[in-house]
Each structure stands twice: as structure tokens, then as C-alpha cells.
Amino acid sequence: MNLGITKNALLISLSAFFADLGYQTVIAVLPVFLVIILHAPVYVFGLVVAVSYGFGALFGYFGGLLSGKYGKKRVTLIGNILIPILSLSGLASNYYEASALFAGGWLSRNFRSPSRRALIDDEVNDKNRTLVYGFLNAMDVGGGVLSITILLALLYFGLGLRSIILLTAIPILFSSILLLLVKEKKKISGKLRNAGKSMNRVRIEKNAFFGVIIATSLYGFSFYSLGFPILTVAEYSGKDALGYLSYLIFLLGSALFGYYIGRKRIRPVYGLGILGYLLSGIATIVLGISYLFGLGILPMYVSILLIGMGVGVIDTMEPSIISVVKSSDIGKGMGALTASRSIGIFLGNLIMGILYTISPVYSYAYAGSLSVLAAVIVLSLGKRLD
């Protein structure tokens, strides 16, 4: 492949594209499906997301550990094949069933994410590292962009929401077929790669690793489900389609900007702190201000676009940094990254759901402030890595 994208990296990225082509639709419609169609309270939606990501922390961590013992490809495939469980939520007759099915599929998705990142890490080197992760993120989120586009088209032509949810199983299963074509290879051990490093460099990388883990854990407390902005826009405008459109805007910003940043020679820690955590935090606060003062849909869309851009940088830079500073055990490092984010998301979405029932303004102020604080932490603890 050109531009440093190997055949395996392309297959893994295409698999990510088709997986997101499926489950991103379910993520987008879940708040409307639960709250508006199945009449669940908003805090129940927050609880569902919290449980999915919270227990996903354990699944992600152990998935990373198991990838080192049983093989990255095998663990990735097992988790990926089980993701369509969430597509079965279209058959649910109440929000209890829908919540359980969604959580089951999402736990499987978290289980395979660290091993998939570790699998693609075999395809990177110091020259193409951010490019490969940026390409993976672009394909990952690009699948979501197409997913929401198709969702809007199917709704326009009158297909029911339940049928749409069930159809999402097809591209997810195809993503597993692509993973079967990946040829796993052994990578130089972390001990050999660290052999030429000075003790001071190893210590700096260790501190940077924990700095990123601490920051991403704190950011997790602010990383709310995009279902909340979807609900905000849908309720503000009175049109569900405009809520789904906000998710499309978010995904576009994430895919394009994440890929753009991956191609640039940007210092990873500063990129993560400023263009990632700080940008998404400020944009979240602005989203709350736009709602508070009734500024209209356009400022909300701009805020959501900026949040997406920030998340695109985060999803590109975080694994890139972990790939460098945790090369001795990449599966475990990626598992720790997933776990640290998910633990924060567990409590964060619970808090978001409670605050949202009082006022969306409180929930966005809370999330934005913690994201800004995460930026301060990663810039202070990880700056020496650059």
C-alpha cells in the first residue's frame, strides 16, 4: 500500500469501517428508541450507557490481556462476531430488553477493541505511526458517517426504526469476514525494542504512560454519549432527524480531522492535550451555552462539529502514544487505555443522565470542565515525552 498503509492495516481499517457502518446506527437511534419510542426516562438511557461502558472497562482490559496469551487476531474475531447482539435490540418489546441487548453487543465491541489496536500496531513504525492510527480512525468513523447517511435515507423512505436496527447486523458480520483475511505476525518484543533506550528515556516513557492513563480516565468522566446532544437537538427542534444529523456532523468532524492530524508532524502529547481534550471541552461548554440562551440549531451543530474534531484527535493520538511508551506489552497497554476511559464513562454518563434531567446546561458544564482539566493533566505529566 502507498503512504505506509500495509495490506493488514488496510484490512483491519476496512473491518472497522463496516463494523461502524452497522453499530453506529444503533448508537444514534438508541436514545430516541429508548426515551421516545419505548418511553424510558432519560436517566435510564444514562444508566444503560454507563453500564455498557463501565463493564466494558473490564471486558476491554481482559481482552487486551487475553490477546497476548491467545493471539490478537483470535480475540479480535471473537469479540467482533458477537457485536451483532446489539442489532437484536430491534426485536425488543420494552426498554429493559433493548437495554440488555445493546449492552451485550457493546461489551463485545469493547472486548475486541484493545486486541484490534494491538493487531494494527504490528503494522506501524516510527515513520507511519500517527498516519496508520489516523487512517484507522478515519475509516472507523467514516463508516459511522455513511451509517447515519443511510439511516436518514431509510427513514425518509419510510422504513421502520426496528427494521433498520436489525439490518445493522449485516455490515458488522462482513467486518468479521475481513478480519479473517488478516495475517497475524509476530512483532519484535518490547524488551528488544527497549534495549537501546537509556534508563532516563524508559523512565520518561513510563511517566508519560501513566500521565496519559490518568488523563484519559479523567476525560472519560466527561466523555458522555453523543446520545445526549442527539436528544438535545431533537427536543429543541422537535424533529428526530435533526438530532440524527447532529451525530453525522460529529462523525464527519472526527473522521476528517483525525485523519488530517495523523498525517501531520504534530507533537503527540501537545496534540492530544490542546487539539483533543481542550478543544472538545470548550466546545461542550459552548454547546450548553447555546442551549441556555436559545441561540438556535446552527451554533449547536458547530459545537458538535468541534467536539467531533477533538475526539478524532484523541482517538488518533492516545493509541499512538501508548504504542510508543508501552511497547513492552502492547496488548496490556491498549487494554489499560480502554479500561481507564471506560471507568470514567461509567460514572460520567450516570452523572450526565442525572444532571440532564435537571437541565442539559448543567450536564454540559460538568463534562466540559472535566475535559479541560484532563488537558491540563496530560500537558503537565506527558510533556517530556515530546
What are the residue boundaries of the structural domains of the chain, listed by start?
2-180+198-385
The pLDDT of residue 327: 46
CATH fold for the domain made of 2-180+198-385: Growth Hormone; Chain: A; (1.20.1250)
**Residue 216 · residue 340 · CB < 8 Å:** yes
Task: Give which of 254, 272, 268, 285 is closest to 369, Cα–Cα.
Answer: 285
Four-residue CA torsion sign, 110, 139, 223, 97: negative
**pLDDT < 70 regions, the chain:** 1-4, 126, 129-130, 186-225, 265, 318-343, 381-386
192: its cell numbers:
528488544
What global pTM score does this model have?
0.74
pLDDT confidence of residue 176? 95
pLDDT recorded at residue 1: 43
Segment 150-181, tens digit of pLDDT = 999 999 999 999 999 999 999 999 999 999 99
Any residues with CB less than 8 A from the CB of 157 and at least 6 apart, and which? none
Instruction: Assess contact for 320 and 289: CB atoms under 8 A.
Output: no
Which CA distances in Å does 4 have to 124, 126, 130, 139, 169? 8, 11, 11, 15, 31
Residue 213's nearest CA partner among 49, 342, 352, 53 is 342
Q: H-type helices in the chain, by residue range?
A: 7-31, 42-70, 72-82, 95-121, 129-156, 161-167, 169-180, 190-194, 199-222, 227-237, 240-263, 268-270, 279-292, 297-325, 330-358, 360-382
Look at residue 369 and give its three-state secondary structure: helix
